[in-house]
Amino acid sequence: MPNEIDLVRARINIVDLVGQRVLLKRAGKEWTGLCPFHDDKNPSFRVSETLGRYKCWACGASGDIFKWVMETQRVDFREALEMLARDAGVTLSHRPSGETKSKRETYTQAMAIALRFFRDELPKASHAREYCESRGLDEATILEWQIGYAPDIGDALASRIKRDGIPLADAQELFLVDSDAGGGFYDRFRGRLIFPIHDERGALVAFGGRLLGDGIPKYINSGDTPLYSKRRVLYGMHKAKEAIAAKGQAVLVEGYLDVIACHRAGVRTALASLGTALSEDHAKLLKRWCKEVVILYDADPAGQNAAERAADVLQAEGLSPRIALLPSGEDPDTLLRSVGPAAVLRVTEGGVTPLDYRLKQLGERLDPSTDEYWQEVVHAIAKEPSAVERSKHMIALSNRHPAERDPERALRNLRRQVAAAGRRLRQSRRFAENATKPAEVVVDRSLHPFEQTLFRALLEEDLRERAHLAIQDERLFLTQTGLELSRAFCEAFPERPPLGPPANWLSHLEPEWARQRLGDLGLDQTVKIDGDELSGAVSRLRLELEKRSIREMHRDTQLDDEGLAEVARRLRKVAGTEASG
């Protein structure tokens, strides 16, 4: 396995990999761009092909090719390795757990059997085909979205899965079947149009079913399974992500048919959360692909409340939401069929900011002459994270404040009230966070400037041997970090320093903080190094060592005359060295 990891690392160019998501420009030996992990205004993100690492000097995000895939694709190390190995043409022969891998293969096979079963059943069900036609789902759309049908038979899918050799207990874990009191198994989805659910990489992870006739519940989605977490998967993301990345905007709708209708209308950035309100994990996923999200929910009270909650979640993650509610009684599907694609496009382009939306809703719900209205206004403005938006609305509202005839006085009062409400909100949030947040232990990883020069030299092939020789003298180090970093390097390379660029060997350092600290030094363009700098740093560290030794001798009150004379001689020598330096 380690050799395969090294082979993958050698075949994947980190600049090419990161460049698929970030526009990079060359800056000397490295590349720079806007950091994808925070709202970067000035390029603070640096990528080094020599080091095989990236680093953002603003938010601190850093890592190698595996960390990049883990962070941007939200996968664990094993999945990141498998994804990169496929790209690199490397066959992974050793698996960390044969049982775990076999189980995952069984899950994947069971899902494929279920998908094939559902798709095979749709042509046989005339009422399901008629329903598809009534919703404008033509053959091309059914094929593109892999829509199927679950017959209203107790164990049709269970029988197929069992016949194909998959244990029904495993199928039960995937929400495909369930067990009855007698130990038998029956299908979870029955008499429903089936919508396959894929994760952002396109892997089939779950199913959703819509009831065709009357009954409750109208929709059933897979529960959380070994393959699926409803808080982390957005329906349609695998089809929408490239369009979202290109436009910098996603359109968030409520269900499968809404997503499909938007895509048919040309809104290829549409997706939906399923069976749950928009979660923090959903927002984090969206933030990796875009900066703005248009919320396109139904105009009924439930849709309005859900839109406000979704806007709060998106703003908390630093995204810019816009709310574009549909006309009363319409959803994207009905709007597409009744008016046409242009109507859907117009709605998605007509979104307003959450604060605009909230104030509009307040104006429709409350009398603007009442204290209750203005209390709600102050609270709504205080929640808005954008200072520009807050100021714009306070200026506009000051002209129609019922208790103040002078707009300037009204504006001052509004600003004071909003500031006070904002402080209360921040205090309540901090209290909530501190109540659940464990105490954070911060480890000081700082290095003395002379130590930085010494370790930076390890990254230069022509200086590495000299630096490696120097760091073996543990007495030189002034900081605990320097001592531990030298030990980590010498443990990884005890006999001789490694050859080649750091990208080939940096990953062999343990623990992770040692790799990151040394990699950060290589990406820090303020640290320059040449042979003279290295010699000077080693000399000054040895001088500091001598001074520490003298102080220790001087603290020894048992020194005889000869010992005191030695202290005096060494002090004169140090003074002369510092004067000449």
User: For position 167, which CATH number holds?
Assistant: 3.90.980.10
Of the residues 56, 88, 120, the one at which a domain ends:
88
Q: Are residues 118 and 155 in the same domain?
A: yes
12-59 pLDDT tens trace? 999 999 988 888 999 888 899 999 888 788 888 999 998 999 999 888
Higher-confidence residue of 482 and 206: namely 206
Comparing 3-12, 334-343, 398-407, 454-463, the range with the smallest average pLDDT is: 398-407
Residue 295 CA to residue 292 CA, distance in Å, equals: 10
**Residue type at position 122:** L
What average pLDDT does range 304-308 have in this prediction? 88
pLDDT reported for residue 96:
46
561: domain range?
449-580
Of the residues 194, 221, 248, the one at which a domain ends:
221
Question: pTM (2 decimals)?
Answer: 0.63
CA proximity to 65, closest of 507, 520, 513: 507
Neighbours of 98 (CB within 10 A): 9
447-472 pLDDT tens trace? 888 888 889 888 888 899 998 998 88
Please check whether residue 230 lies inside any domain of the structure: no
Secondary structure (DSSP) of 447-482:
--HHHHHHHHHTTSTTTHHHHHHHHT-GGG-SSHHH
pLDDT reported for residue 194:
97
Residue 123 CA to residue 151 CA, distance in Å, equals: 11
Of the residues 221, 255, 278, the one at which a domain ends:
221
Residue 65 has pLDDT above 50, yes or no: yes
Higher-confidence residue of 14 and 580: namely 14
Q: Are residues 320 and 381 in the same domain?
A: no
* Residue 133: strand, helix, or coil: helix
Residue 442 has pLDDT above 50, yes or no: no
What average pLDDT does range 545-551 have in this prediction? 75
pLDDT reported for residue 101:
47
Neighbours of 203 (CB within 10 A): 14
181-195 pLDDT tens trace? 888 999 999 999 999
The proportion of the chain whose per-residue pLDDT surpasses 90, expressed as a percent, equals 33
Neighbouring residues of 485: CB distance < 8 A, sequence distance ≥ 6: 447, 455, 514, 517, 518
Higher-confidence residue of 432 and 405: namely 405
Q: How many domains does the chain have?
A: 5
* Residue 70: strand, helix, or coil: helix
Secondary structure (DSSP) of 504-568:
GTGGGSSSHHHHHHHHHHHH-TT----HHHHHHHHHHHHHHHHHHHHHHHHH-TT--HHHHHHHH
Question: For the domain that residue 550 is a member of, what is the CATH number?
Answer: 1.10.860
**Joined tokens for residue 401:** 């404040």
Q: Are residues 152 and 210 in the same domain?
A: yes
Residue 474 CA to residue 456 CA, distance in Å, equals: 17
Please check whether residue 443 lies inside any domain of the structure: no
**Joined tokens for residue 540:** 């000054």
